[in-house]
Amino acid sequence: MSLKYALSWVAVVLALYVPAAIYSTRSFEDPSPAGKVAVILLRPYEPLGGSAYRANLLPGEKALLPQQSDLVVYEEESPLRRVSEFLRISKGGGNFAIWSDQGIVFSSRDNSDPNRNGRKYWVVVRQGEPETVADNLVNSY
């Protein structure tokens, strides 16, 4: 392979790569919901009866969960409704609760199994919450 042929091949590759790279950085959309910190809840979720599921947290993470008002659970980009009764979560409709003994318990918006519906679930620290809440979540992962 001659040097001239190799250089022309490099020029063609760069001519295609540079515009594609610029386009991809400008068109990238972050899939996580807006907030100070957004942490994806990893599968598998433990079924608790009805449409209720518990996000399995790592050992010790339940102790890091702040007060209920500090966090919001999202299904994709849509926030779920905060409730305080397990019965409402088990009936479905996109509800969640955060309890110190149970962790994060939620239902999908359409009552489907969140282990199989292909959607992402997030726990989000809202923008105005204290830094310690965000630090606890980030440092636990």
Given this model, what pLDDT does residue 81 score?
96
Kindly report, residue by residue over 104-135, the tens digit of the pLDDT. Answer: 999 999 999 999 999 999 988 876 645 554 55
- Domain range list for the chain: 1-30, 37-139
Closest CA to 55 of 1, 111, 123: 123
Q: pLDDT tens digits, residue range 22-41?
A: 776 666 555 667 677 788 89
89 — pLDDT class (breaks 50, 70, 90): very high
Signed CA dihedral, 32, 103, 71, 119: sign only: positive
CB neighbour class for 53 (10 Å; exposed up to 12, middle 13-18, buried from 19)? buried
What is the pTM assigned to this prediction? 0.67
